[in-house]
Structure 1
Amino acid sequence: MLVDSKEFTINGLRYIIRSAMEKDAKSLSEVRVQIDGETENLDREPGEAYIDESGFKQVIKEDTERANNIFLVAEVNDRIVGFCRCEGNQLKRSSHKVEFGVCVLKDYWGYGIGKTFLEESIQWADTNGIKKINLNVLETNDKAIKLYQKYGFEVEGTLKNDKLLSDGNYYLTILMGRLNF
């Protein structure tokens, strides 16, 4: 599904949140690899589960056509600095819910881009009949957990020893959900 673009200015940074377009595919592929190398909060190491330009074009096409999917990008000075997706399910029994994922380049942390992505995704979900948003978050990502809780997400469970990080230790993945009934 497509949404209207919106402009934000936070801490002196002006950025636009808009729907991803096919012309963004190459940039999204590059940004995703860079983000994967900047944090261990995501599932992937740099280059793992690589999505090339044509792969992103396909994802964007599908997300644009499906009523219960949304793919947003954050743009600063015509450069994509982050993106988020809500991916729905085509199965009838699960069509009421979406899975939320977000990533932002480290240089742009602290400008509220992740928070804006979350707010825009919640607004989209609430106005489009989505009854539940699910997400996964690493137990060490306290800032994200507090943000999600502030927006009504609750811990629904944990996956023990789910992620092996560079320090050699295993960490929990926290499963969170937000209901809109």
Structure 2
Amino acid sequence: MLVDSHEFHVRNLSYHVRSAMEMDAKSLSEVRVQVDGETENLDREKGEAYLDELGFRQLIKNDAEHNTSLFLVAEINNKIVGFSRCEGNNLNRTSHKVEFGVCVLKKYWGYGIGQNLLKKSLQWADSNGIRKVVLYVLETNHTAIKLYEKYGFEVEGILKKDKLLSDGNFYNTLVMGRFL
């Protein structure tokens, strides 16, 4: 599914949020690897579960053809600096919900990029009959948790000792949901 491009201005930084296009595939592959190496808030370490240009091209194509999925990118000067995805399905029992995920290059944290990707995704969900948005967030990612709560997400469950981080400790993952 496609959404209209929208421009944002935050502290001398301008960026666009728009639907991903197949021509973004190579950049998305590179950004994903970089983001995975910049934070432990995501599931993967740098280079794990690598998704190449062809893989992203197929993902973008599939999402554009289904009204229960949305793939957005944030770009500055035609360079992708973050992306988000709402992944749904057409199964009768779960077609009312999507799973949301987001990542932004560390250099661009604090400019509202993740927040605006989330806002656009929620607007899309609300206007397309999606009743529930689900996400997973590491318990130590307090900034993200506060953001999600601000937009109506609640903790629905805890996956105990779900992630083993570089400090050798296990951490919980929060399952959060927002129901329209």
TM category (shorter chain) comes to over 0.9
Give per-residue Cα distances to partners, 1:115-155, cap 9 Å, x unaligned. 00111011000000000000000000001001100100000
| Cα distance in 1 between the residues matched to 2:52 and 2:138 | 26
CA distance in 2, matches of 1:151, 1:11: 22
Please state if 1:108 is matched with 2:85: no
- Please tell me the residue identity of whatever aligns with 1:152: G
1:47 matched to 2:44:
no
The corresponding residue for 1:148 is 148
CA distance in structure 2 between the partners assigned to 1:54 and 1:64 by the alignment: 15
Separation (CA, whole Å) in 2 of partners of 1:144 and 1:87:
19
**Deviation (angstroms), 1:156:** 0.1
What is the CA-CA distance between 1:90 and the residue it aligns to? 2.1
Pair 1:34 & 2:37 matched: no
**Could you list the runs of 5+ residues in structure 2 that have no partner in the other structure?**
none
CA RMSD after TM alignment = 0.4
Aligned position for 1:64:
64
The number of residue pairs the alignment matches comes to 180
The Cα shift of 1:89 comes to 1.7
Structure 1 gaps, min length 5: none
Residue 2 (structure 1) aligned with residue 2 (structure 2)? yes
Cα distance in 2 for partners of 1:90, 1:133 equals 15
How far apart in 1 are the matches of 2:104 and 2:90?
A: 27
In structure 2, give the amino acid aligned to 1:27. S
Structure 1 stretches of 4+ moved >6 Å: none
Partner secondary structure for residue 54 of structure 2: helix
After TM superposition, give the deviation of residue 11 of structure 1 in Å.
Answer: 1.5
SS across alignment from 1:37: helix
Counterpart residue type for residue 154 of structure 1:
E
SS of the aligned residue for 2:114 comes to helix
Q: State the secondary structure of the residue aligned to 1:162.
A: strand
State the secondary structure of the residue aligned to 1:18: strand
1:78 correspondence with 2:78: yes
Whole-Å separation in 1 of the counterparts to 2:21 and 2:28: 10
Residue in 1 that maps onto 2:12: 12
Q: Secondary structure at the match of 1:160?
A: strand
SS in 1 for 2:175: strand
Name 1:161's counterpart in structure 2: 161
Q: Which amino acid aligns with 2:38?
A: E
Identity of aligned residues (%): 71
* AA matched with 2:74: A
What TM-score, normalized to structure 1?
0.99
Deviation at 1:162, TM superposition (A): 0.2
TM-score in terms of structure 2 length: 0.99
